[in-house]
Structure formats: structure tokens, C-alpha cells
Amino acid sequence: MKLYYTPGACSQAPHIALREAGIDFTWEKVDLKAKVTETGQDFRKINPKGYVPALEVAPGQVMTELAVLLQYLADQVPERQLAPPPDSADRYALQTWLVFIATEIHKGFSPMFKPQVSDDAKEVFKQILATRLDYVQSELAQRDYLLPGGFSVADIYLFVTTGWAPRLNFDLSRWPAIVAFRERIAQRPAVQAALKAEGLA
């Protein structure tokens, strides 16, 4: 497999998942502004959507949507238990978390990265995001991970997205269970290896 990534972007989630899964892979950095990979390829020919992550799972077969990628990787190594079994009630709980993180947390942070968005508008987005984090806080106050069964790819996705907070001067201290969660996940060897590989350790 080959992962196309940008350091610190959401592509960090499949990067961590690949390492958690013990899957052999290569990786290539993408300049998202220029839409060019570090070897000079036109990234739009790899992923016409123009964003990371893109995962080449076989020659000519590229997967792109993060919530799908994470489940795909987990399903390659079911013995690692990175996702509950397909069609189980717990699997639908995982999918609920992945969609929630994608639409409410990931996309909640996105406008704050855009220079064309006014400070007043960003403040509104922060207030909306805070209500979503209130919910995550209430869940993580009850257990160490998002799913009662333990660590999963949903935790990886939440770790990566909440990791953007410091870059945006978004203080997470009002959500102590999330802060403790982040400290817990950061200690995992796969997480540390991915951060080091992306130059973010």
C-alpha cells in the first residue's frame, strides 16, 4: 500500500492506523497548494478531489474517504481489533463515531484554517465546535476510549482532529477528559512513530 499524506493533516489518521495494523506501506508527501507530490506527480491524477489522504491499495486502485479508509485498514487485520466485526451492533457504533468526527469535529475545525473566513465567523464556528466537544467530553468521562470495547480507529481519528486545536489557539482545557484521552493516545508506539515520520514529534 502507498499513502499520500501531508504532515499534520487528516492523512495522519490512516498513517497511524497503518502502523497500528502492522501493514507494510510506503508514503509520499503531497503539497496541497501546488497539488504536486514530492516526486513531482500531479496529485490530481491520483486523487481528482485534490485532498489527502489517498491510499493506493493496489495498482490503479485508490481509496480516499477517511472514515472508509480507517475501516478498510482495520478489516485487513481483524486480529488487531481496531474495529468491531462487520454487521455487529458495535460496528455500527464505530461508524456512528466516525461519521460524527468527520462531520462535526473535522469539518468543525476546517473553517478556522481558512484565512478568508473572518474572525467573527471563526468565533461562531468555535462556539458550535465547543458544543460538539461537550458531547465527546461526556462520553470520554465514562471510559478511556470512544467505544466501550476499547481502542479503535475512531480514537485515532479523534486524536488527529483534536490535535489541530493548539495551531488554532483553541484551548481544550475545559474538556479534561479529552485532554486525558489525548495524553493516553499519544503514548502509543504507533502514534509516536507516525508523528516522528511526519516530522512532528
Residue range 153-169, pLDDT digits in tens: 999 999 999 999 999 99
- pLDDT (tens digit per residue) in 72-112: 999 999 999 999 999 999 999 999 999 999 999 999 999 99
Do 149 and 182 reside in the same domain of the chain? yes
Do 62 and 13 reside in the same domain of the chain? yes
Do 57 and 122 reside in the same domain of the chain? no
Residues 108/129, Cβ–Cβ less than 8 Å: yes
Do 91 and 158 reside in the same domain of the chain? yes
CA-to-CA distance for 62 and 98, rounded, in angstroms? 20
Closest CA to 194 of 14, 65, 52, 53: 14
pLDDT at residue 49, as a whole number: 97
Residue with cell 503514548: 187
pTM of the model: 0.96
> How many distinct structural domains can be found in the chain?
2
Do 57 and 118 reside in the same domain of the chain? no
Q: How close are the terminal C-alpha atoms of the chain, in Å?
A: 24
pLDDT at residue 176, as a whole number: 98
Question: What is the domain range of residue 31?
Answer: 2-79+190-197
Which helix (H) or strand (E) segment holds residue 125: the answer is: helix 119-140
Do 88 and 183 reside in the same domain of the chain? yes
**pLDDT score of 135 more than 90:** yes
Do 98 and 184 reside in the same domain of the chain? yes
Do 105 and 73 reside in the same domain of the chain? no
